[in-house]
């Protein structure tokens, strides 16, 4: 198969009077291929499939799974397909998902991302934003079950972030991770902003709990709670950071 760039070069050389053999030697394509594209019998960038499409038998399953969960990770889907006899690579799966547009648009996400936004400027040292991320299938040796939890803290003015792993999202683990990430970021900021997590506030009213108020006083920070149904603030780290370990199928750390 010739790319569009290859096709342009082949035709340019032919117009300069080069023979098909000379063009083939120069471009490292065989003469039969060069002759076919010069005659207009080949379409650049399109590979002619000689056999059945190996992805076609799995399309219905993929569509059904992504209809159930538009946010299903491609790595999770790939593991499921492997159990069904899927023989292509993970990269082939993600390419087919893109090319065939098999992942449906999530209405909730579209509402959050397409509504008007205001860019909020933050001064250095003003605010740290916090959120939990659930990571599936941690190493069995950790003894954490099927899910690990990553607390991610990001400096609002720069997007610099650090994370800490925990076996649970309860308040003791939250406080331990807050301390570790804060040290990794270089110290406390004026404000800590949280989603409506029950270990920090009452999810309904947004009022900070008495137990977490003691934590905030210890670190000398103010606590800000995101208003309900603020999809633009939710998952803020996805916009400003690279995926944390294993979010895209990368190996878990061994230490």
Contact 12, 30 (CB under 8 A): no
Cα separation of the two ends of the chain: 46
**Over the stretch 202-225, which tens digit does the pLDDT of each residue have?**
888 888 999 999 999 999 999 999
**Over the stretch 116-157, which tens digit does the pLDDT of each residue have?**
655 666 788 899 999 999 998 899 899 998 999 999 999 988
195: tokens are 């989603």
Identify the pLDDT of residue 119. 60
- Res 248 pLDDT > 60: no
Alpha-carbon gap, residue 255 to 140, rounded angstroms: 13
Identify the pLDDT of residue 81. 94
Return all residues near 7 (Cβ < 8 A) that are at least 6 apart.
Answer: 37, 44
Contact 153, 132 (CB under 8 A): no
Identify the pLDDT of residue 78. 93
Instruction: Report the side by side order of strands in the sheet with 222-225.
Output: 161-166, 147-155, 127-136, 191-194, 222-225
**Over the stretch 106-126, which tens digit does the pLDDT of each residue have?**
777 766 556 665 566 678 889
Alpha-carbon gap, residue 246 to 250, rounded angstroms: 4
21: tokens are 């053999």
**Over the stretch 149-194, which tens digit does the pLDDT of each residue have?**
999 999 988 889 999 999 999 999 999 999 999 999 999 999 999 9
**Burial degree of 177 (CB within 10 A; 0-12, 13-18, 19+):** buried
**Over the stretch 5-43, which tens digit does the pLDDT of each residue have?**
788 889 889 988 999 999 999 988 999 999 998 998 888
């Amino acid at each position: 198969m010739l790319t569009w760039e290859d096709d342009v070069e082949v035709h340019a050389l032919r117009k300069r009077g080069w023979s098909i053999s000379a063009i083939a030697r120069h471009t490292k394509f065989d003469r039969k291929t060069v002759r076919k594209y010069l005659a207009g019998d080949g379409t650049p960038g399109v590979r002619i499939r000689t056999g059945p499409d190996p992805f076609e038998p799995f399309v219905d399953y993929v569509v059904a799974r992504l209809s159930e969960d538009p946010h299903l990770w491609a790595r999770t889907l790939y593991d499921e397909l492997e159990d069904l006899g899927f023989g292509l690579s993970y990269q082939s799966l993600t390419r087919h998902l893109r090319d065939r547009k098999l992942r449906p648009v999530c209405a909730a996400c579209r509402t959050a991302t397409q509504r008007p936004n205001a860019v909020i400027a933050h001064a250095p040292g003003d605010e740290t934003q916090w959120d939990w991320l659930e990571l599936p299938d941690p190493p069995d040796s950790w003894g954490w079950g099927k899910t690990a939890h990553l607390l991610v803290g990001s400096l609002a003015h720069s997007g610099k972030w650090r994370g800490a792993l925990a076996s649970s999202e309860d308040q003791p683990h939250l406080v331990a991770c807050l301390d570790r990430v804060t040290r990794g970021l270089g110290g406390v900021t004026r404000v800590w902003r949280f989603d409506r997590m029950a270990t920090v506030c009452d999810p309904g009213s947004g009022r900070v709990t008495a137990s977490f108020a003691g934590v905030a006083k210890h670190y000398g920070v103010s606590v800000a709670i995101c208003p309900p149904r603020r999809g633009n603030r939710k998952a803020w780290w996805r916009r400003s950071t690279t995926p944390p370990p294993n979010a895209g199928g990368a190996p878990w750390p061994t230490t």
